[in-house]
Amino acid sequence: MAEAQRIHPVPPMGAMQRAERPTRPLVPRSRSIPSEKGNPTYNNYPPLRPPRSRSSCFCRVICCIFCLLITILVIIAVLGVTFYFVFHPKAPNFSVDKIRITDFRINMDLSLYTKFDVRITAMNPNEKIGIYYEKGGKMAVLYSKTELCHGSLPAFYQAPQNKTVLDVSLSGQNQFGNTLMSALMQQQQSGNIPLDLKVDQPVSIKPGSLKLGKVRFLANCKLIVDSLSSSNLNALCRPGKTKPVTYSNC
């Protein structure tokens, strides 16, 4: 009897195709994460980036602001150096030519009333810079840091290398008349009465054809007068030490 034929079961076509299809992990082996049992498990999600801290953003802002300030300072320095070498700016010069005492007396209320006429010469030594003397300029005469009289300076324009003579009237009233008069009369016996002439003047400079903003300069001139009597209409005035003109913003 012939040998009986053996019949082997054939799997379905879909199962055969799935079996033949190659399989590969969803992520590279390098990104496998070991499980608790020791077998690698694969992560299907991309790696997470660490969040940016607020401190790093703040440091970047501070660095940008610092760099901006450095740039502005460098630009200002370059402009200042250029302005200096092009225009050679110089401070104006002042000199007191004469002080005329027109009134000097004790009032009924024991206050001291004084009135001076002062002639000063203002000189602009700059070759390329004009000076505008703006409104609001003040001048005062002081003795031992006590103001005797004050007045206003006129507003005018001074061209480069120009000399201008100004006559300014000063007047004032001090309530401590007896004390101040006694000190002045005692000082007058020596023939040398030290006085301080202070100037506070806002100005604008004009380099070339461009007018710049206001600045305020302060000047202090020390004078010596032989007498403070109203009968002495041409008191001797000898210039003492003059402090350099200083500037401040208006």
Give domain status of residue 64, yes or no. no
Q: What is the mean pLDDT of the chain?
A: 77
Neighbouring-strand partners of residue 218: 200, 246
H/E stretch holding 81? helix 54-87
- pTM strictly above 0.85: no
Looking at the domain assignment, is residue 72 inside a domain? Answer: no
The whole domain housing 217 covers: 93-249
Q: Is residue 183 part of a domain?
A: yes
With respect to residue 46, please indicate whether it lies within any of the assigned structural domains: no
Tell whether 163 is covered by a domain: yes
pLDDT at 155 over 80: yes
User: Where is pLDDT greater, at 245 or 223?
Assistant: 223
User: Residue 67 domain-assigned?
Assistant: no
Tell me how many domains the chain contains.
1
DSSP code string of 151-170: EEPPPEEE-TT-EEEEEEEE
Instruction: Please state, in angstroms and as integers, the Cα–Cα distance from residue 224 to each residue in 10, 140, 193, 198, 244, following that order.
Output: 133, 15, 5, 14, 18
Q: What are the pLDDT digits (tens) for 184-216?
A: 888 888 878 888 889 999 999 888 888 887 888
Establish if 45 belongs to a structural domain. no
Tell me whether residue 241 is in a domain: yes
